[in-house]
Structure 1
Amino acid sequence: MARPTKAQRAAIAKRRADAIDLRLAGVDWLTIARKLAADPSINSDRAAYPQGYGCERYAKGQEPPTDDALIRAACKDVREALSERRAVLNEEVEELRSVEAERLDRLWFVAYKQAVRDGNLAAIDRALRIMERRAKLLGLDQPARTEVTGAEGGPLQIETADLAELEALIAITENAARGSE
């Protein structure tokens, strides 16, 4: 299969954006897939969607994809589009993190000079706060270790329950919630 042209890539990006918009609006997968299908006979708008699902089959005059194939295509589109958006966001976050680190470095230098030169306690406190913020921003501090224990520091007791026991617990919880209203 040949690499898509620039126009085709733009149409695919548009289709993916439309798929995400529809999904965010609460539209079910099959409706999304049909709305973005290339073949007018299955497209819910009765129009050929540019670079829509099954466009290769439609161009060759073949039968349109099955509902399952359309749904898989719509799911894949949304998954790939969200993955691309995450990558862009991660790049932007890294760029912003670098900018913020530079700003903190400049502020710290001013506070540090006053703290060391003058012994200014307020400047010392400010320098420490800047250092704390920088450590949080860059993840320099090691996470605190937490340990979950049972009664009196002993091991946790894990119990199993069957469906009837779980339903009874849910009913008790729901009744207690209604009683507190």
Structure 2
Amino acid sequence: MGGRPTRAQRAAITQRRTDAIDLKLAGIDWLTIGRKLAADPSLNSDGVAYPQGYGIEAYRKGLEPPSDGRLIELACKDVSKALAERGTALDDSTDELRKLMAERLERLFFGVYRAAIRTGDLQAVDRAVRIIERSSHLLGLNRPVRTEVSGPDGGAVQVETAGLEELQRLIALAGDAGEGGEA
């Protein structure tokens, strides 16, 4: 290619990656995906030059097409990159959705807040508090909850250690109990 790909080339590469994911989701093996998306018609399972397919530069220069191993590598790489790009897009979409939901909650809050302040309506107060709680949760403003484990009567938890022989005895007892024996 020599330099940055053109807009058309980027679009073709994006389509190739989408096709690679679709083929993999359909249960197609890596080599078949590589051949299906190869630029060289002699390798391509459809007998056509796939646009921006694997080995496109070698094909344009009349060089040897990629080996089966290289086709597999390229197909795996395409699927990995496409999934990473989709993950990034999903993260970005999630952030946008979070902002939208926060805006909606804020608009709801102001209407309920006015009613709660003006009239002292307890249902409006309760609703305002619930919207605040939901907004805090959505935006991650709540502190983590600290949990402590305690033993009987709030005392320390007793921890016992056992040797290998004791563990083997307990395992044997558990096995006997599972077979209908007494533990």
What is the CA distance between 1:157 and its match in structure 2?
Answer: 7.6
CA distance in 1, matches of 2:87, 2:25: 16
Match of 1:46 in 2: 47
What is the CA distance between 1:51 and its match in structure 2?
Answer: 0.7
Match of 2:140 in 1: 139
CA distance in 1, matches of 2:157, 2:119: 49
Q: What stretches of structure 2 of length at least 5 have no aligned partner? A: 151-155, 165-174, 179-183
What is the CA distance between 1:38 and its match in structure 2?
Answer: 0.8
Match of 1:121 in 2: 122
Q: Provide, for residues 118-147 of structure 1, a one-character-per-residue CA deviation record: whole Å limited to 9, x for no partner.
A: 221111110111111111211111233457
What is the CA distance between 1:159 and its match in structure 2?
Answer: 10
Q: TM-score, normalised by structure 1?
A: 0.77
Q: Provide, for residues 46-67 of structure 1, a one-character-per-residue CA deviation record: whole Å limited to 9, x for no partner.
A: 2111110011111111111112
Q: 1:45 to 1:146 in 2, by over 3 A?
A: farther
CA distance in 2, matches of 1:155, 1:73: 53
What is the CA distance between 1:82 and its match in structure 2?
Answer: 1.6
What is the CA distance between 1:158 and its match in structure 2?
Answer: 10
Residue identity in the other structure for 2:97: L
Q: Which moved more, 1:122-131 or 1:139-148?
A: 139-148
Give the RMSD, CA atoms, in angstroms: 2.9
Identical aligned residues as a percent:
59
What is the CA distance between 1:154 and its match in structure 2?
Answer: 4.7
Q: What stretches of structure 1 of length at least 5 have no aligned partner? A: 161-171, 177-181
What is the CA distance between 1:117 and its match in structure 2?
Answer: 2.4
Match of 2:82 in 1: 81
Match of 2:171 in 1: none
- Compare CA radii of gyration and give the structure with the larger one: 2
Q: Are positions 1:68 and 2:79 aligned together?
A: no
What is the CA distance between 1:87 and its match in structure 2?
Answer: 2.0
